[in-house]
Amino acid sequence: MKQKRRAFDASFKLQVVQMIKDQGLSVGQVCRDMGLGETAVRRWLVQLDAEQSGQAGIGKPLTVEQQRIRQLEAENRQLRQDNDLLKKASAFFARELK
């Protein structure tokens, strides 16, 4: 029988990782106590380490700062695309006026 995939929000992931780091608990113990998979928790640890060292990391960001950075990067990307489109449109209409 296949188990349903569970989804965890960033704050829960951050809490679990901080329990391991701050309280010195082992990954295996935390996973057994909370019913989590070790692979996922180890991935969260790597993600947080990457974010704290200033890298983007993989997957969804855990820290608020990284979430905000990703949001701003996406907004910046969208604005650049919009700007390029407007430049092309203005060039097109400028040729039509001549």
Domain layout of the chain by residue ranges: 10-97
C-alpha span between 96 and 98 (Å, rounded): 6
pLDDT band at 98 (very low <50, low <70, confident <90, very high): low
Q: Determine the pLDDT at residue 94.
A: 85
pLDDT digits (tens, 9 = 90+) for 38-97: 888 998 888 888 877 777 666 777 777 878 888 898 999 999 999 999 999 998 888 877
C-alpha span between 95 and 91 (Å, rounded): 6
The DSSP annotation for 23-46 comes to: H---HHHHHHHHT--HHHHHHHHH
- Among 7, 61, 63, smallest CA distance to 36 is for 7
What is the reported pTM? 0.62
C-alpha span between 92 and 85 (Å, rounded): 11
pLDDT digits (tens, 9 = 90+) for 8-31: 888 888 888 988 888 888 888 888
Q: Determine the pLDDT at residue 24.
A: 85
